[in-house]
Structure 1
Amino acid sequence: MNLRPDPTFHATPKLAMEAPPETLAFTLMLSPDGAQPDGLAVVDVNPASETYGQIVHQVIMPNTGDEFHHFGWNACSSSLSPLSGHAFLERRYLIIPGIRSSRIYIIDVKEPLKAKIHKIIEPEEVFAKTGYSRPHTIHCGPEGIYVSTLGGGGADGMDGPPGIFIMDCETFEILGRYEMDRGKQDKHYDFWWNLPRDYMVSSEWGLPPQFENGIVAEDLLANKYGHSIHFWNLRQRKNVQTIDLGANHQMALEIRPAHDPSRDYGFCGVVVDTTNLQGAIFTWWQKDDGSFEAKKTLTIDPRPEDAANLPPLLQGFGAVPPLITDIDLSLDDKYLYVSCWGLGEMHQYDVSDPMHPKLAGKVALGGIGRGTTHPNGKPFVFGPQMVEISRDGKRVYWTNSLYSTWDEQFYPGEEGGQMVMAHVGENGGLTLDKDFYVEFPKGYRSHQIRLEGGDCSTDSFCYPSV
């Protein structure tokens, strides 16, 4: 334990934006066929370094078949909450769950170039203490580590609904389930919160049989994937309201609340509208009476395409859907970045007015039927996927893999893992850095990124910016 709060903890988003720029990134490596263990790559992102854009250290796990997906810190700026008893923690450990194995790794990155495994939590402990499986999203809260799951109990994850459980942020012991009253929530995906206003928002993807072996086309066309967002009283651990975005808005994924807690709105990305193949962004907000509303504020159209250029899954549609698979919001709450994994495009929207997003920039890279190469001439397989933004908002990083079985359905025969970075113009706009191109080792794909000292999808703030 530190005698002072970790210097990477910041009371406000504005103070976090003024912090020193990142010099390292931590990126997950996954083996899509389970032939080799998954790993964590430490990437040099310091442009003044001789190893800029290179993997400078790897932590390879002792097991196979984990499928690394999302991960997060043991502690972050939320520790500065006045309700916290943990203000003097270090941002030292990365919590990495295996979405297939339900095993959880705790990685000590105090010395990033000597990062090592600190603890392994076996799946049997997860099952016994929570009744959940398929751990997914990690968020560091004021009183512990919150972990969302995609499966309930049983071998198929269908014995009861998935939910959230909490871990001790110092010992990493699993404490138990979060929910006291889940209301209508029966699927899960992402979650985030507004700490001073004491509410949480969660979203839905699908149940294990709907995603583990690939997308189930019949379920998608029958609108059986998740299409609701849930609002919770954070301290009472109670679902207070559920908003159905419409059954045609299939797979409500990333939740991105405004970083400044005085702003009581946020965004949710929807993968596909089954009536027209559009992708969509919904803006949600809290009303004066404490209830919530949500409205579709942005749509992205599919692109017509010759069936010969399409994977079998899409040939009958004659078009490429955007497939919005990730979104991220800059710390000043100005720009929302939207990964169009199907189109092969990264979009930047000015959301200064959250009800009226305006396109500010766009980069084409990869994509179904296009395969746009990087400015350095090298390939970028699949499309822009997990996106992360530097604290100062000047750099946007992204990788390319969605989920092993889904990669193979939408991009059959393609293979590889890349990570790239784009610079943000003073008034918006994106320009890919020709010199930053990370090619992951053969047999590995790449998914989520975490930046040294925190980033725009890890930290939650307790105090308004001045």
Structure 2
Amino acid sequence: MALWKPDPTFYASPRDAVNAPPEKLAYVAAFDRSAARPDAIAVLDVDPASGSYGSVVGWTDLPHTGDELHHFGWNACSSALCPYAPHPHVERRYLIVPGLRSSRIYVIDTKEQPTSPQIVKVLEAGELAERAGYSRPHTVHCGPEGLYVTALGGANGEDGPGGIALLDHTSFEVLGRWEVDRGPQRLAYDAWWHIAHDVLVTSEWGTPSMVEDGVDAELLLNRRYGHSLHFWDLRKRRHIQSVDLGDEHQMVLELRPAHDPTKQYGFVGVVVSVEDLSASVWVWHRDGGRWAAKKVITIPAEPADAAALPPVIRPFGAVPPLVTDIDLSVDDRWLYVSCWGTGELRRYDVSDPFHPVEAGSVRIGGIVNRTPRPARPDLPLSGGPQMVEVSRDGRRVYVTNSLYGSWDDQFYPDGVGAWMAKLDATPDGLTFDERFFPHDDDWRGLRPHQTRLQGGDASSDSYCYP
């Protein structure tokens, strides 16, 4: 009698994930800013014992142009082992890849040919609009009963409200809008959860018209971008509370809840304060019967010669850090904070989430400094650490340098370049892996954005057992 066995890359607990075998491949979304060529999923060899380590070893072009691939995720992950909605027969096999500008969603099979993933389904924008009322899909999370896809816009690119569409695990059809009662929520960005407590959290960026042509200085100075967190009843799909961080804190983006399912706290990054151009990281937490948020990290702007600055920030005479991504290691000890403007990746020890301690920093790129990597001091780099992904065991950190096409062009008007770096992480600090630096022609003229690691990574899975 044959027995079903769960996918071996599903982990019951964070401890199991940390002790699992290391990844050997990385999948990276890369896009063509001109929209003249198709975007692609690049496959990189991340096995140090391989002769092609650090190289692009696979490439899947999409069939259309103008998608602008951004964030993507797995069809299934460790949440499939959760006891109240188990799906142990599914596999971590497909990448669910949205086009942020086109509103298409691609389903890409990595199982049969891991270095040559195959497109097996394309959801057109009309299906997302008709069945869920959304457009501009942004973030994908694998939940125990389906795929959660956050979206910035209303149907056909309308300016909201944005929200969450739910996709079927196996057919990948759009089931419909997730929210039953959205309350005051209108702006959208990320969504994640405290899955064992039936709590979902969402954050805010802006509607399509607010983001697609770059940062709108008038909207920013008038404090119109998102500045709140929203908390939901995950089972009932109802809004229960908003927490406003203050309208000076503009663009509340990446959510990183504790991986330990017994904990009810998490971190969120804020891109910029309009009062002093600083960036910040906040911890949300339970405060009695309510939710609260506290600023625990502030990263100041760095003074700079106005003549060296791009027009969008020249009047301020300083470089904002622009915290555009954060990532929390699976053991919940290390928080990585990417400062895309200053070209810095910071690490904090968050063993006490309310009192982070800085525990390492590296510089690469940056609006003004253009810091080269140590092995090539003659090669100044544009862009900065943007998307950051941490391996399950916490020993490897991958960063890519492109944020979003129109924003790249504003902050790096002479060109953002194309590169990906890897850092080795130990309790003592961070060091660049000089064997790993795909850049320029390796990306075939495209810009690399988000990374997903074979078998899961620090920002793809949620666990139901401590």
TM-score category (smaller protein): over 0.9
Matches within 5 A, 1:244-393: 244-289=244-289, 291-377=290-376, 378-393=379-394
The CA distance in 2 between the partners of 1:399 and 1:148, in whole Å, is: 22
Name the residue aligned to 1:210: 210
Question: Which letter maps to 2:188?
Answer: H
Asked if structure 2 preserves the Cα contact closer than 8 Å seen for 1:416 and 1:444, the reply is: no
Deviation at 1:3, TM superposition (A): 1.8
Q: Distance in 2 between matches of 1:327 and 1:300?
A: 13
Superimposed CA distance per residue, residues 406-447 of structure 1 (whole angstroms, 9 cap, x where no aligned partner): 00000001142111100112x241111111101242320000
Secondary structure of the corresponding residue to residue 79 of structure 2 = helix
**Alpha-carbon deviation of 1:379?**
4.4
The SS at the match of 1:316 is: helix
Per-residue CA deviations over 1:370-398 (Å, capped at 9, x if unaligned) read 10011221443211000000000001001
Pairing 1:394–2:395 present: yes
Q: 1:87 Cα shift? A: 1.6
CA–CA distance in structure 2, aligned partners of residues 365 and 2 of structure 1? 50
Give aligned-pair identity as a percent.
54
Question: What is the distance in 2 between the residues matched to 1:237 and 1:323?
Answer: 32
Secondary structure of 1:219's aligned partner: helix
State the one-letter code of the partner of 2:140: I
Q: Decide whether aligned partners of structure 1 residues 382 and 395 sit closer, same or farther in structure 2, where only a CA change above 3 A counts.
A: same
Residue of structure 2 in register with 1:177 after alignment: 177
Alignment pair present for 1:96 and 2:97: yes
The alpha carbon displacement at 1:448 in A equals 0.3
Cα separation, 2, equivalents of 1:175 and 1:249? 34
For residue 46 of structure 1, give the secondary structure of its aligned residue in structure 2.
coil
Q: Which residue identity does 2:19 align to in structure 1? A: E
Determine helix, strand or coil for the equivalent of 1:63.
strand
Counterpart of 2:54 in structure 1 is: 53
Q: Work out whether 1:129 is the aligned partner of 2:128.
A: no
Match of 1:138 among 134, 137, 140: 140
One-letter amino acid of the counterpart of residue 367, structure 1:
G
TM-score by length of 1: 0.97
Distance across 2 between alignment mates of 1:183 and 1:365: 42
Establish whether residue 15 from structure 1 lines up as the match of residue 19 from structure 2: no
For 1:239, the equivalent position in structure 2 comes to 239
1:163 aligns with 2:179: no
Letter matched to residue 333 of structure 2: K
Report the AA paired with residue 340 of structure 1: C
**Paired residue total:** 460
Q: After superposing the two structures, state which structure 1 stretch, 346-355 or 378-387, moved more.
A: 378-387
TM-score when normalising by structure 2: 0.97
* 8 Å Cα contact 1:192/1:200 also seen in 2: yes
Matched to 2:116, the amino acid is K
Residues 58-96 of structure 1: per-residue CA shift (max 9 Å, x gap):
010110000000000000000000112412111000000
Partner Cα distance (2:135, 2:444) in 1: 29
CA deviation vs aligned residue, 1:201-220 (integer Å, no higher than 9, x gap):
10000111111011100100
In the alignment, what sits opposite 1:421?
422
* Cα distance in 2, alignment partners of residues 171 and 409 from structure 1: 40
User: Which amino acid in structure 1 is aligned with residue 8 of structure 2?
Assistant: P
Native 8 Å contact 1:2 1:90 kept in 2: no
Question: What corresponds to 1:459 in structure 2?
Answer: 461
Distance 1:283 1:2, change over 3 A: farther
Distance in 2, matches of 1:2 and 1:77, equals 19
> Which amino acid in the other structure matches residue 269 of structure 1?
G
Please give the alpha-carbon distance, in whole angstroms, between the structure 2 residues aligned to 1:460 and 1:286: 19
Q: Distance in 2 between matches of 1:380 and 1:20?
A: 33
Q: Residues 2-61 of structure 1: CA distance to partner in whole angstroms, max 9, x if unpaired?
A: 921100000000110000011110001100110100000010001111000001010101
Q: Distance in 1 between matches of 2:446 and 2:374?
A: 22
Tell me how far 1:297 sits from its aligned partner: 0.8
Q: Secondary structure at the match of 1:128?
A: helix
Answer whether contact 2:367 2:382 (CA < 8 A) is retained. no
- Taking the aligned partners of 1:437 and 1:63, their CA distance within structure 2 comes to 28
How big is the shift at 1:287? Answer: 3.1
Q: Specify the SS of the correspondent of 2:196.
A: coil
d(CA) in 2 for partners of 1:371 and 1:85?
48
- Aligned partner of 1:407 in structure 2 is 408
Shift of 1:166: 0.5
Any idea what the Cα deviations from partners look like across 1:290-334, whole Å, max 9, x if unmatched? x21101111001000001110011111000000000000000100
Q: Determine the C-alpha separation between the residues in 2 that align with 1:304 and 1:129.
A: 49
What is the 5 A alignment of 1:187-202?
187-202=187-202
Contact 1:264 1:285 (C-alpha < 8 Å) held by counterparts: yes
Task: Show CA shifts across 1:346-380 (max 9, x none).
Answer: 00000001001110000000001110011221443
Letter in 2 for 1:194: H
- Write the distance in 1 (CA, Å) between the matches of 2:420 and 2:139: 21
Using a 3 Å threshold, how does the CA distance of structure 1 residues 49 and 2 change in structure 2: closer, same or farther?
A: farther
SS at match of 1:61: strand
Task: Kindly provide the amino acid, as one letter, of the partner of residue 77 in structure 1.
Answer: S
Kindly provide the amino acid, as one letter, of the partner of residue 136 in structure 2: R
Cα 1:415–1:297 shift into 2, 3 Å: closer
Question: How far does the alpha carbon of each residue in 1:135-156 deviate from its partner, in whole angstroms, 9 at most, with x for none?
Answer: 00000000010000000124x4
Point out the more displaced range, 389-398 or 433-442.
Answer: 433-442
Partner of 1:373: helix, strand, or coil? coil
State the match for 1:106 in structure 2. 107
Secondary structure, aligned partner of 2:297: strand
Cα deviation, residue 221, structure 1: 0.6
Matched residue SS, 1:406: helix
Q: Secondary structure at the match of 1:413?
A: coil
